[in-house]
Structure 1
Amino acid sequence: MRRELPGPTAPHSENYLWGVALVVSLTGVIWKAHALQCYTCLEPMSAPLCVTISNCSTDDIVCKTVMYSREEVYPFVGDSTVVKSCAQKCIPSDVDEIGSSRPTFCCNSDLCNLDGAVSIQISYMVMGISASFLCVLLRTGL
């Protein structure tokens, strides 16, 4: 009597899909529950002194930095003078713009506005790598 072997099946495919759905759901919940943190100083001051950390409201989705020219703000110091804040929206300056006395920088991860420049979004990269690793583990059945 010849015994037939079952064809290729995907026993873990349903578990895999549930795992992916769970990861996506939890990521969304964690993302929404976490308020953005930005460095803030509402009056123009020297950039190295603007290190107050603020928890933004849930409506604020970006950290905003406005740099002032040295001639505009007294006392005239040799470093950059900035105003940093949490914001609901932000329109960054054109990097090729010449003569702008108040360039504006925008970013959207915790404490990303330390130097006034847009930082690399490490948190997105870590979250993506973690999700990929979890999917591989679920797929292999570990």
Structure 2
Amino acid sequence: METLSSLLFLLLTVHSVSALKCYVCASGTSNQECIKNTQDCQAPLDTCMTTVGTLGSVTAIVKTCSYSKLCTSAAASASVESNGDGVQVTCCNSHLCNYSGAASVTLHRWLMVLPLLLITLLFRQNT
């Protein structure tokens, strides 16, 4: 009987572990575009990361699963000038926490890769 009680106790206290779920978007021009797709982050990816690059009236948004340390480093290095130009990185770690983003604007092709280049450069500096 004691074994059955112990087993029942374990079943009641064990929580199912599920992967972190983030919104993902490779190169959106609006937040509405970037909240259409979700992804289960595979371990060890433990953070939802949103990168918003702005240059004048042009904005590019990237949402992805990331490593906490990489996201935090990118967020600390990102900056936005007083006129609004620059790159902003936000990190969060709860399901679908990277919901918000930028308003719809026109996107130039070369700017789509700007956030990805920044992330790559930051990653290379940390390794």
TM range (shorter): 0.5 to 0.7
Matched, 1:85 2:73: no
Q: Where do 5+ consecutive residues of structure 1 fail to align?
A: 1-17, 74-79, 117-142
The 5 A counterparts of 1:1-142 are 26-27=14-15, 30=16, 33-51=17-35, 52-71=37-56, 73=58, 81-89=60-68, 90-91=71-72, 92-93=75-76, 98-99=80-81, 101-116=86-101
TM-score (norm 1): 0.49
Task: Give the count of matched residue pairs.
Answer: 87
Q: Which has the higher strand share?
A: 2
CA distance in 1, matches of 2:80, 2:27: 25
Identity %: 28
C-alpha RMSD over aligned residues: 3.3
Q: Which has the higher helix share?
A: 2
Q: Where do 5+ consecutive residues of structure 2 fail to align?
A: 1-5, 102-127
What per-residue deviation string (whole Å, max 9, x for no partner) do you get for residues 21-51 of structure 1? Answer: 959x624xx3xx3101000012243111112
TM-score (norm 2): 0.54
Spell out structure 1 runs of 4+ moving beyond 4 A. none
Contact kept? 1:93, 1:103, Cα under 8 Å = no
